[in-house]
């Protein structure tokens, strides 16, 4: 029972308190790149959730199954990035073959995810924090939920910004950054909560 509570708290922390975008700064490139419209943001979010949960499982298994027994821990960065790249390729092929509808929705986001630092970051943090297999899965999934939450909220804000008229130098990315700063201020309210 205690274990279950621990997992729930871990997930809540990953979504709100240690939000990937607003407190850990992981995955800023897709955050700025695909947050023009709420639907594309949601699509990207789902794709990240999918890949991050699977890659957390795969990297955990490879680290404790292969790297640790052979004392190759220092290769984790190379191994993980290759696993993630291969996994993304594989998911893409699998979806195209068996779930064309889902592929149609997520397909264009999948190649972008290989170089999304949130995915590699989650894999490395799972190892650094010493999570077991279930915790890694929960952490990977809930961090991606936090990422999705952030990117969807931000997309909503950006729709409003696109109607406003900021000073010329602030148009585009600068005003988006400042909006992100204000949302981050709201999210930093969660940091007082410690579990």
Partner 1 sequence: MSKYTLKEFGTQMMDGLFAKNPVLVQMLGMCSALAVTTSVTNALGMGLAMTAVLICSNIFISLLRHFIPKQIRIAAYIVIISGFVTAVQLLMQAFLNDLYKSLGLFIPLIVVNCIILARAESFASKQPVLPSAVDGLAMGVGYTFALTVLAAVRELLGAGTLCGVKIMPDAYEPAIIFILPSGAFLTLGFLIALMNKLMDVQKEHAAKKAAAVPAAEAAEPAEETANEESADESVETPEPQPAETEPAAQEPEQKKEEN
Q: Which residues bind partner 1 (CB under 8 A)?
A: 22-29, 32, 74-78, 81-82, 85, 114-117, 120-121, 124-125, 128, 167-171, 173-178, 180-182, 184-185, 187-188
**Least Å distance between CB 189 and partner 1?**
10
**Least Å distance between CB 192 and partner 1?**
12
Q: How far, in whole angstroms, is CA 111 from its chain's centroid?
A: 14
**Least Å distance between CB 130 and partner 1?**
15
**Least Å distance between CB 9 and partner 1?**
22
Which one, 116 or 142, has the nearer CB to partner 1? 116
CB 55 within 8 A of CB 87: yes
CB 119 within 8 A of CB 51: yes
Number of C-beta neighbours around residue 51 at 10 A: 26
Which one, 3 or 191, has the nearer CB to partner 1? 191
Which one, 99 or 129, has the nearer CB to partner 1? 129
Which one, 82 or 159, has the nearer CB to partner 1? 82
Which one, 102 or 156, has the nearer CB to partner 1? 156
Cβ contacts of residue 181 below 8 Å, gap of 6+?
Answer: none
Q: How far is CA 110 from CA 52, 59, 84, 100, in A?
A: 11, 18, 11, 14
Q: How far apart are CA 144 and CA 130, in angstroms?
A: 19
**Least Å distance between CB 101 and partner 1?**
28
What are the residue ranges of helices labelled H in 129-188? Answer: 133-163, 173-187
């Amino acid at each position: 029972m205690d274990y279950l509570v621990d997992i729930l708290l871990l997930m809540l922390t990953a979504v709100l308190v240690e939000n990937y975008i607003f407190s850990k700064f992981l995955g800023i490139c897709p955050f700025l790149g695909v947050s023009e419209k709420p639907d594309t943001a949601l699509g990207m979010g789902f794709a990240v959730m999918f890949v991050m949960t699977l890659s957390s499982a795969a990297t955990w298994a490879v680290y404790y199954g292969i790297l640790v027994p052979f004392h190759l821990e220092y290769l984790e960065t190379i191994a993980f990035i290759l696993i993630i790249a291969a996994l993304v390729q594989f998911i893409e092929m699998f979806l195209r073959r068996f779930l064309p509808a889902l592929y149609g929705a997520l397909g264009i986001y999948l190649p972008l995810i290989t170089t999304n630092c949130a995915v590699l970051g989650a894999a490395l943090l799972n190892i650094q924090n010493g999570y077991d297999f279930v915790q890694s899965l929960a952490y990977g999934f809930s961090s991606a939920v936090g990422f999705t939450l952030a990117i969807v909220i931000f997309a909503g804000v950006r729709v409003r910004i696109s109607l406003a008229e900021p000073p010329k130098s602030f148009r585009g990315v600068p005003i988006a950054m400042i909006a992100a700063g204000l949302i981050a201020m709201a999210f930093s309210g969660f940091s007082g909560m410690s579990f």
